[in-house]
Amino acid sequence: MALIGPKEMFRRAYAEGYAVGAFNVNNMEIIQGIMQAGAEEKAPIILQVSAGARKYAGQNYIVKLIEAGLQTAEIPVVLHLDHGADFQICKDCVDGGFTSVMYDGSHHSFEDNIAVTRQVVEYAHDHGVWVEAELGQLAGVEEDVVAEHSLYTDPDQVAEFVDRTGCDSLAVAIGTSHGAYKFKGEAKLDFDRLEKIGQLLPGYPIVLHGASSVPQEFVKMCNEYGGNVAGASGVPENLLRKAAGMAVCKINIDTDIRMAMTASIRKYLAEHPEDIDPRGYLKTAREAVKNMVQHKIRNVLGCSGKA
Ligand code: G3H
Ligand code: 13P
Ligand code: ZN
């Protein structure tokens, strides 16, 4: 199959109350694990590439690996730029065959965010490419509660932002955060805010970043086999499921891939101290990514059989 844009994926996800997983990819084993899970579940998949991934593997390597996977995959796959920091990186990805790009101007002023998002939209739409933008700032676990809430997406700004930029989907801040340490106390998302945003943008796809659930089995496995990720915690799966049933059509997951790989590699190496063949632990890691993604598709995103 060829890469597609997310338009039809999101239309259906919105209408049927599920979300599509957007998984960060950095190497062959991650791409294969995710695509195998998608194929077995007959689920749509978004593969997303960050600036860090482009730097690590090279954009062309990643695109070619995904193209290789597409030769046998019979599921819809979107290739998306994650957190594009400026117009140039968005342009490079549009030119490089991505079917969707994110411009992340969330750390800029409202007007500056609008101006660059608009510029990206004009270029991307001329090339038939989807644009995700972001309004509001994701909480960092180190920030205090007051600061976090003041940075949540302001529902009063969303309609104007979408109208003036022409962006196709919008990432919002409602309490999630990037990384493996998301909540100090009780895990909470601001569903009232999400509902308000949904009402103000009827039929419009919302994106949830920082949505790994940091499964405790991986935390435990890391710590048992020489790691130190004590206190790591994520967004509980039932909250993600609830968001997927609302206006959220895309749920971003990177940390859980890192956790699945690192935990399984640590365990494998501890149990096979004599093994020096990278294929041993990389195969185990690929299998762990596949199983984790399959679990998400079935039990969290609700997109099994929606390919
Ligand atoms: O949101 C950020 C993603 O987890 C990508 O992380 O920039 O380290 O590749 P990265
Ligand atoms: P996590 O760190 O929760 O996996 O979030 C990933 C993300 O939002 C990528 O854009
Ligand atoms: Zn993100």
Share of residues in the chain with pLDDT > 90 (%): 95
pLDDT by residue (tens digit) across 170-218? 999 999 999 999 998 899 999 999 999 999 999 999 999 999 999 999 9
- The 3-state secondary structure of 194-247, one letter per residue: HHHHHHHCCCCCEEECCCCCCCHHHHHHHHHCCCCCCCCECCCHHHHHHHHCCC
Report the pLDDT value the prediction gives residue 150, as an integer from 0 to 100: 65
pLDDT by residue (tens digit) across 24-48? 999 999 999 999 999 999 999 999 9
Q: Which residues line ligand 1 (CB under 6 A)?
A: 24, 50, 52-53, 82-83, 178, 254
- The mean pLDDT of 119-124, rounded to a whole number, is 99
Which residue owns the Cα nearest ligand 1 atom 4? 254
Q: How far is the CA of 134 from the centre of ligand 2 (A)?
A: 14
Which of the residues are catalytic?
82
- DSSP-derived secondary structure letter, 169: E
**Residue 301 pLDDT class (50, 70, 90 cuts):** very high
Q: How far is the CA of 240 from the centre of ligand 2 (A)?
A: 13
* Measured distance CA(138)–CA(211) in Å, rounded: 11
Q: Which residues line ligand 2 (CB under 6 A)?
A: 24, 82-83, 178-179, 209-212, 252-256
Residue 144 has pLDDT above 70, yes or no: no
Report the pLDDT value the prediction gives residue 148, as an integer from 0 to 100: 56
Q: How far is the CA of 254 from the centre of ligand 1 (A)?
A: 7
Residue 143 has pLDDT above 60, yes or no: no
Higher pLDDT, 139 or 6: 6
**For ligand 1, what atom is nearest to the CA of residue 178?**
1
Report the pLDDT value the prediction gives residue 139, as an integer from 0 to 100: 75
pTM for this predicted structure: 0.97
Contact 244, 251 (CB under 8 A): yes
Ligand 1, pocket-test mutation among 254, 256, 258, 261, most atoms within 8 A of CB: 254
- Stretch among 119-123, 132-136, 150-154, 239-243 having the lowest mean pLDDT: 150-154
User: Which of 256, 266, 265 lies closest to 291, judged by CA?
Assistant: 256
DSSP per-residue letters across 39-85: HHHT--EEEEE-HHHHHHH-HHHHHHHHHHHHTT--S-EEEEEEEE-
pLDDT by residue (tens digit) across 233-290? 999 999 999 999 999 999 999 999 999 999 999 999 999 999 999 999 999 999 999 9
* Measured distance CA(97)–CA(131) in Å, rounded: 14
User: Which of 134, 116, 113 lies closest to 250, judged by CA?
Assistant: 134
**For ligand 2, what atom is nearest to the CA of residue 256?**
4
Mean pLDDT, the chain, integer: 96
**For ligand 1, what atom is nearest to the CA of residue 209?**
1
Q: How far is the CA of 255 from the centre of ligand 1 (A)?
A: 8
Question: What are the percentages of helix, strand and coil residues in the chain, rounded to 5?
Answer: 50, 15, 35
Ligand 2, pocket-test mutation among 20, 23, 24, 218, most atoms within 8 A of CB: 24
Q: Cα dihedral angle (191, 196, 200, 203), rounded to 10 degrees?
A: 30
Report the pLDDT value the prediction gives residue 142, as an integer from 0 to 100: 47
Classify 154 as helix, strand or coil: coil
Report the pLDDT value the prediction gives residue 147, as an integer from 0 to 100: 53
**For ligand 1, what atom is nearest to the CA of residue 26?**
9
pLDDT by residue (tens digit) across 150-174? 699 999 999 999 999 999 999 999 9
